[in-house]
Amino acid sequence: MKKIKLNDGNEMPLISFGTYQITDLELCEKAVLNALEVGYRAIDTAQSYFNEEAIGNALEKTNVAREEIFLTTKIWVTNYNSNKTTESFYNSLKKLKTNYVDLVLVHQPFGYYREALSALLKLKELGHIKSIGISNFYDDKLADLCLFNDSDFIPAINQIEINPFFQREKTIENNMKYGVKPMAWAPFAEGKNDIFNNLILKEIANKHNKSVAQVVLRWLYEKDIPFITKSINIERMKENISIFDFSLSNEDKEQIKSLDKGVSQFFNHNDINGVEMLFELVKKRGEIK
């Protein structure tokens, strides 16, 4: 599995197995064990996925050594401040049944995320975290965080939406300018715009005797962008990491480029409607009043 080097010197696999929306703990545990069995060596979870316990159970049962697994979790927005961030991290560590996490992200660019990052830096000094990153930070907040801070901290990763319908060339360029590695979540746009039946992607897939999913992941791979892919089906898991025996032509890439709509397929974190939608989600969960 190809690895990429982060700005702190640590390395992570280019492909991560995602666990978003796998809330059934037994199903999640089985999926992670299967993913590790077929060759995944990076697992992505979050406090807000409510499945860290299942990840921990899988880590405890797998024959793959812990040091061979790159583990990512994320601090949820309602746990942003020095004390809550530290407390919630230790709670996550307990659920994950490990004494360190390879990568910890602040999950949303709202609230007291600077306090959360400060707390994570202290936890890193204690050896509980290897790398620290961010998620869903648009260009303005990324620049603000990197330029206006009282330390030398630069996030290792910015986990953001990237898919054929929202390709974000300028955002990728801006992240790289500051030494931050962009990482793609939802590379298939969660099936939006009927992506798996898209005529352009199907034509490219047929030409290479591959699936649409493999074409999309190969597209990211050739951009050197790490990504998260998820399936509870073991055959799909195998398919999603079988992308190393073909290459996209320049014509293929130009055709994929034509699919870019230039807007999020979910919601814009930099728009008032997006902020209010996330706030209502948090409020509905009872996490704030």
Q: Which residues are annotated as a binding site for substrate?
A: 107
Catalytic residue among 49, 80, 113, 221: 49
Q: How far is CA 214 from CA 96, 186, 202, 203, 225, in A?
A: 30, 14, 11, 13, 15
Q: What is the 3-state secondary structure (H, E, C) of 34-100?
A: HHHHHCCCEEECCHHHCCHHHHHHHHHHCCCCHHHCEEEEEECHHHCCHHHHHHHHHHHHHHHCCCC
Q: Which residue has the tokens 């949303």?
A: 108
Sort residue 224 into left (φ over 0), alpha (ψ -120 to 50) or beta: left
Torsions phi, psi of 160, nearest 5? -135, 165
Active site residue 40: no
At 18, which helix (H) or strand (E)? Answer: strand 15-18
Q: Assess contact for 108 and 141: CB atoms under 8 A.
A: no
Active site residues: 49
